[in-house]
Every structure is written in C-alpha cells, then in structure tokens.
Amino acid sequence: MTAKWGDIKVGELISPVRGELAWGDAGLPVSGVSTDSREILPGMIFFALKGDIFDGHEFVIKAIERGASCIVVEQGYEVKMPSGLNAAVIKVQDTLMAMGDLASWWRHRFDIRVAAITGSAGKTTTKEMAALILELTSKTLKNKGNLNNLIGLPMTVFQLGDDIAKMILEMGMNRPGEIGRLTEIADPDVGLITNVGMAHIEGLGDIRGVAHAKAELLEKISPRGRVILNGDDELLMKEASRFKRDVMTFGLRPENDVRATSISSLGKDGVSFELQYKSDAVQAILPVPGLHNVLNALAAASIALAIGEPFGNIPGGLKKYDALKGRFKIISLAHDITLVDDTYNANPSSLHASLNSIKAMAGNGKRVIVGLGEMLELGKETVQAHIDAGRMVSDIGAAWFFAMGEHAHEMAEGATDKGFPSEKALKVETHGEMVDRISEVVTSGDIIFLKGSRRMGLESVVRGLEDRWSKEV
C-alpha cells in the first residue's frame, strides 16, 4: 500500500487523527503537512500546535489565507473563516498527538524498512553513518539535522514517498515518555540504543532515570522489531534485561555480535579497524578520528546488518562519512594547527569520549589546548559534573585549559585538584576572550579542542579561530 500527497482527501485524515470534521468539504485534496503558517503552500494541512511560548491557533487565519486546505485545531477553538476562502476544519483533543497519529498512519502506507536510534550520545553520527551504508543499495530517508522530537520526527515521516525503500530516524528526548511515543509513531523494524549517560539529568532525576527513559524503545517496539544495544554499556544492558528481548549487541568486547579489533589511529585522517560480525571480518577505514566514532560505526553497521544489507557493503558506506559541523569536525589551520570543533553539544559522557579521542590523536608528540563551555540540564549533578570535567582535562595531559560559563570555576578547580598547573587552567568570560587567550598560547602543531552545551555558542570561538588562523600569521 502506498500513498501520494495530492491524492489524499481531507476525509481520509479524520479517522487517523481521531477527530471530527467541524467545517468544510471532506473531499478537498491535501498536498502536505506543516506546523508553520509561514511555510504553508496551497493545499497543505496545518496543525495548530500549542507550546510553552507559542500557540499555533493564533496563526490559523494566516494559514487559511496562504491556501491551507485543512486546519487541525483543538476542541473549544472556533475558526472564523475569512470571507471568500474555504478550508476544512478538523477538531481533535490534542493537536500534537493527532499529528503523531497521522505520521504513524502515513508510515504504514508504505512498504519500507525503518530503523530508529536513541541514546545519550552518538545518535546523529550513527544515523548519518548508517544512512550512507543503506544508500548504497536504495534511497533512504533520514531526519535532517536534529529534527528528532515529537514535531521533527513526524515531519520527517511525512516526506515518505514511493521512491523511498528505507527510513532511519533519530529519536531525542528530555523528559519521560517521549522515546516511547516516538517509537509508537515510527514503529521501527530495528531499534538501537547507543548508550546511557548523564544527559538531560535535570528532567530525569539521575542516570537510572535516563536509562529507564531510553529503554522506552524496548517497551514500545513491536514484537517483530529487532533490538540492538551497546553491549559494553553495563547500565543499559541491565535495564534492557527487564524486557526479555532477543538482542543484537555491538561494542569492543569480544562477546558482542558486531565488534572492532586491530584498531589503529591514523591521526587526524581517521582510524582503521577490522570490523567483525560473528565469524566474518572485513577491513574498514573511518575518515574521522576517535574511538567514540568507531563505536558509532559499529552501531551503524549493526543497523545495516539487521535491515539486511550485505556485510561487505559496510566499509564502503563508512568510508564516505565526513564529520558534521560541530561534531568532532577536524579543521586544519595555519602552522599545522588542528582545530577540533565538537561544539554542537556536551554532556559528561560525550565529553569523556571526545577527550579520550583527543588524547589518542595527540599521541606522545602534540600539545592539546582545551576550551570548554559549561554543560547544561544536569540538575543536582551539575557541580560535580563540572569538577569531573576539569579532572578529565588534566587526565589527558592538556597543555592549557580555558573554561567558560557559570561553572567555569568548578571546571578549573577539578583540573588543578588533579595536579594541573593553576596558571594554565583559566576562566574566560566571553567568546572573544577565549579566542584571544588560545591564540596567545597556541604554537605550530598544536591541537585545539572545543566543546560545550548548545546554548554556550562555542561555534563563535571556532569562527574566531578560523578567521585568525586561516592564513599565515
């Protein structure tokens, strides 16, 4: 069974969204879906979503004026149809729930293979790597950017068409229940959890709360769904054992189904390893550095295998991967200086993994300069997490450490507690100051590593260093 926007009529949508036609012609065609009145094209259906700082019901008239053929609103809202215009109006109890229900209905109109990924770190990189492997044999749909929430994931699903054979969806969350709901919408054939770490602690209480929230995928995935887990993550495996599912595992330990051996750093050019699946083995080269990226590659390979891709195709897909901006992106500057842009986001788990990868990149001969912004949404773990961050910087043998944000003091304190020289563990107030201080101490051949939570905006430091060091100075 397939479908095509433009052939779908308003009347066909009423049951999937569990609504009622309150106004208009059920025979009007629907050409697509939008939640933004500014992006409405003629014939689209507009979902009036309600958020913490916006209410889509305020833009219903604008959507109609731009040509929406159908408006989905919540019970109690009365649409005053503009003179001379016509649009069907469907009323539902909850517009966000209704949009998810419609996305689930749309997903099941197509005979495709669907994979879903969640976890505290590595979701996007794993998604991108897996998509490159799957694209070798057929067209694959994936979330753009980080459109991985209760709005972004359904909007991705609505892009399905007859030419697409596979779909891979990243699923994010910051409160209980979200992963379960996203799993219901996606109904994946394959569900993977990359790891469990200290991310979104503020909304989940503690790391066990994170594990429980991630395991909602196991609770909601259908019995036919294949489950893939990081077999090296003991907390995840313990949480997963509650569900008595047949599990495929990936990781570095020899008992995992998909694993890597003979790992060899190629410096900033990447890493080579032998990819093993049960009794089969093949050589693979990943053109980005870092042990954490090897784990992401193993996760991507597991998805491909579970979906049915040939084992021999996997290295070809992995070799095409190029790091995304802000996700351990290697930038070459003047004087053989290497800038590692890992500024997209940060939590203790991802920071630990990235710093270990930086240490491996540096080997025994290169100096490392670290610039960190604070990590957000850690709740009661905030202070200790930032002290631990400083300790991690000391542990990798960094030459200089610059910290920024409300908890910069704790980061510097953690570093000096582990023996880091206090005169080289410094707090900076602004992006410009971090650029200046790094520029004052960097020398030929150094590695500069930058990471912080999204709202810290350390990409400004990346741009500043690129501007200052992009040519001979």
Q: Is the same domain home to 262 and 137?
A: yes
Q: Is residue 33 part of a domain?
A: yes
Domain of residue 366, CATH code: 3.90.190.20
Please report the pLDDT score of residue 473 as a whole number.
Answer: 46
**Spatial separation of the C-alpha atoms in residues 237 and 225, rounded to whole Å:** 17
Where is average pLDDT lowest: 67-76, 205-214, 412-421? 205-214
Would residue 138 count as lying in a domain? yes
Same structural domain for residues 253 and 301? yes
457 shares its domain with 357: yes
Which of 298, 319, 340 is the endpoint of a domain? 319
The verdict on 160 and 292 lying in the same domain is: yes
pLDDT in tens, 286-328: 999 888 999 999 999 999 999 999 999 999 999 999 988 889 9
* Residue bearing tokens 């996305």: 103
Q: Residue 349 corresponds to which tokens in the numbers above?
A: 């788990």
What amino acid occupies position 232? D
Do residues 401 and 346 both lie within one domain? yes
Q: Does residue 59 belong to any structural domain of this protein?
A: yes
**More confident position, 6 or 113:** 113
The pLDDT confidence band at residue 161, using thresholds 50, 70 and 90, is very high
Its domain, for residue 71, covers: 8-99
Can you read off the two tokens belonging to residue 225?
Answer: 């769904």
184 CB neighbour count, 10 Å cutoff: 15
Residue 449 to residues 136, 152, 234, 283, Cα–Cα distance (Å): 33, 30, 29, 29
Question: pTM above 0.85?
Answer: yes
Among residues 289, 319, 349, which one ends one of the domains?
319
- Residue 105 in any domain: the answer is no
Q: Under DSSP, is residue 472 helix (H, G, I), strand (E, B) or coil?
A: coil
The two tokens of residue 353 are 């993994």
Whether residue 164 is contained in a domain is answered as: yes
Domain assignment present for residue 104? The answer is: no
Together in a domain, 145 and 20? no
Do 169 and 128 meet the contact criterion of CB atoms below 8 Å apart?
A: no
3-state DSSP call for residue 287? coil
Q: What is the pLDDT of residue 212?
A: 87
324 in any annotated domain: no
pLDDT band, very low/low/confident/very high, at 379 (cuts 50, 70, 90): confident
Residue 117's DSSP bridge partners are: 170, 192
Distance CA 287, CA 270 (A): 4
431 and 452 Cβ atoms separated by less than 8 Å: no
User: Considering its fold, how many domains does the chain have in total?
Assistant: 3
Please report the beta strands in 232-277, taking only residues with DSSP state E, as ranges in sequence order.
247-251, 258-265, 271-277
Give dist(CA 32, CA 357) in Å, integer. Answer: 43
Tell me, yes or no, whether 298 lies in a domain. Answer: yes
Residues 59 and 182 in one domain: no
Q: Do 274 and 354 fall into the same domain?
A: no
Two structure tokens written together for 368: 């490392």
Residues 305 and 341 in one domain: no
* The one-letter amino acid at 128: E
Answer yes or no: do 297 and 205 share one domain. yes
**Domain harbouring 121, CATH code:** 3.40.1190.10
Over the Cα atoms of the chain, what is R_g? 24
- Chosen domain end from 256, 287, 319: 319
